[in-house]
Amino acid sequence: MNVKLPKESLIKIITTYLDREVEPDYSWGPELYDFHREEVRRYGSFDFQINDKVSYSLGGENRFECQYCLYIEDHLSDQLTNLFGNLWIPIFKEWFEMGSGLEVTEMSVFNKLIEF
């Protein structure tokens, strides 16, 4: 059965899922924006863990092949793609930027770069 949802409803469903299932172990939000920026500046990247397993990482300058690239680990990409197809990708970018305070210029999903 194929069900068509309004775009706003779909965004809300995916965002709610991300909030409940994909938020990093040690939380985030405006109070940690400076911390995340400083970690990326100092070390070149920052790993976000879910249940003590790296699930996504942001690479800053000179750390990865792209600047401010968000790398989604395959286990998380598989999970989200199985649930939402590719619809989750731009929603994840916005959700990540709001939660972390970090800018994303590209995402790596299944080792393919997506530019924004």
3-state secondary structure of 38: helix
Pair 39, 57: CB distance under 8 Å: no
Radius of gyration of the chain (CA): 14
Per-residue pLDDT reduced to its tens digit, 50-64: 999 999 999 865 545
How much is the pLDDT for 5? 73
* Domain definitions of the chain by residue range: 7-115
pTM exceeding 0.75? yes
Checking if the pLDDT of 30 tops 60, the result is: yes
Strand blocks (E) in the chain? 45-50, 53-59, 69-72, 106-109, 112-115
pLDDT band per the 50, 70, 90 thresholds, residue 2: low
